Every structure is written in C-alpha cells, then in structure tokens.
Structure 1
Amino acid sequence: MLWEGIKSLYAYLAVIPVIPFLLIYYGYSFFSDDRKKAFRLAMDITTGLLIGCVAVLFNHLFNGSFGLYGIMLVMLIGGGLLGNAQFRKRGKVDAAKVIRAVWRLSFFMMSVLYVVLMAVAVGKSIFFQA
C-alpha cells in the first residue's frame, strides 16, 4: 500500500517536472534567502524525476526497454571522461565533484530530451493514432 502510494506520487511529479522544480525552488528560497542554493537543490531533485520520465518516454517511443540503461551508460561515460580530465589536470580525482558535475549536466541533458521526446510523443499520438 505504501509502495503504491510512493510510485503514484513519483509518477504524478515526473509527468510535469516543472511543477516540482518550482515548488522546491520557491519553497526553499522562502525559508532561506539563498536563491542560488535553492536553484541547485531544485535542480538536483528534479534530475531524478527527469531521468525516470525520459527513460519511460524513450521506451514508449522506440518500443524498447533500454531507456534507463542508456541514460545510466551515458552518465557513467561522462563521469569517466570528467574523472580522466580531472586526473590529467590535477593528478587526483575528486569523486564528489565528478558525481555532482555529471548529475547537474544530466539535468540539462534530460531537460532537453524531455521537451523533445514529449513533443514527439504528443505529435505521434495526435497524427499517427492506430
């Protein structure tokens, strides 16, 4: 029962990720005056919603089940590339910085993919009804 409620809440929030982003941003910035930290917190939380939504959209549009695995693969490759660049420049790898950078870059990548895949899915459902 509790698990079904959590899944339903996640599904509702992930469908339109702009709403939880704005709720978190304005809610946190209301209690603290640090808008930069509020933006980063909203971005970090919304990334998890966007990853799930983009994976489902990808699976739906291409009739597959590789969406989440493909996203994780791209994130791991990005982390490897960033870690390698950091090692070459500084001689050591700060894993926390690499993970944070990959997570925040994923927000922007997932945002673009969300808009594109949602537009394609809506267009497909309107123009190519089976």
Structure 2
Amino acid sequence: MAYFGTIIAVLSTVPFLTFFILFWVFRKWTGQASRSTKRAADYSTVLFLFADIALLDYIFDIVPFGETLLAYIIFFAIVLTIQWRREEEIIIIRAVRFVWRLSFVMLSVAYLLLVPVAILMNL
C-alpha cells in the first residue's frame, strides 16, 4: 500500500508526467491522438490544480482554495453569458468542459512559471 501512495505523490508532484502517461494510455486504448489529448488533459487538470496550490503555499505561504473556486464560478458565468448572447440555447456541459480545459491551459502555464521560482527559492 505504501507503493501506491508513493506513486500518487510522484504523479501529483509532477503533473506533466501524469499527463503524458495518461495520454499514452488513452492513445493505446482509443487509437486517436486528439481524443486522447482531451481525456488526458481532463484527468490531469486536478493534479495541476493541487500542484499549483501547493507551489503557491510553498512560495508565498498562501492557500487560495476559496479564490480558486470563485475564479471557476466567475469563468463559468462568463462562458454561460457568452453562450446566451450567441445562441438561443445554453448548453451547460459545453460550458463546463470549456472552463475545465481552459483551466488546464492556465494551470499548466502557472505550473511552468512557479516551478522555477520554487527551485530558485530553494537554492
């Protein structure tokens, strides 16, 4: 059981590794690169979220759980408003998927920016 915990800790500490492992597994399973990329991004977003929050806690000594939840709610409301303005019908699952995948991109960029800062602080 200790090995399982260690594996989870490593994969959540290095979310890009998890993304590529998930991509590879889904690619073998589905045979489609674009579908595999989307699924790997969907599943690894949670790990990027926790990794970024942990890095913010390490660097700035803040834990922005509430702010993160508020940001998700605001982005979701913006996407729903845009859908409402452009289309007659609001499709909630499309808005959730868009916000989730946009957060993957933003969290990946934040991770790439925060890791060097954390490394420089540790030197």
> TM exceeds 0.5?
yes
How does the TM-score come out when normalised to structure 2?
0.89
RMSD of the alignment, in Å? 1.9
1:42 aligns with 2:48: no
Aligned length in residues = 123
**Unaligned 5+ residue runs, structure 2?**
none
**Runs of 4+, deviation exceeding 3 Å:** 4-10
Matches within 5 A, 1:1-130: 8-66=6-64, 68-126=65-123
Query: Using the alignment, how far apart are the partners of 2:84 and 2:61 within structure 1?
Result: 39
CA distance in 1, matches of 2:22, 2:40: 5
CA distance in 2, matches of 1:59, 1:69: 14
Matched residues in 1 for 2:11 and 2:19: separation? Answer: 10
**What's the TM-score once normalised by structure 1's chain length?**
0.85
Higher relative contact order (CA 8 A, sep 6+): 2
Structure 1: runs of 5 or more not aligned: none
Q: What amino acid is the match of 1:35?
A: A
* Identity within the alignment, %: 23
CA distance in 1, matches of 2:3, 2:74: 34
Contact 1:55 1:71 (C-alpha < 8 Å) held by counterparts: no
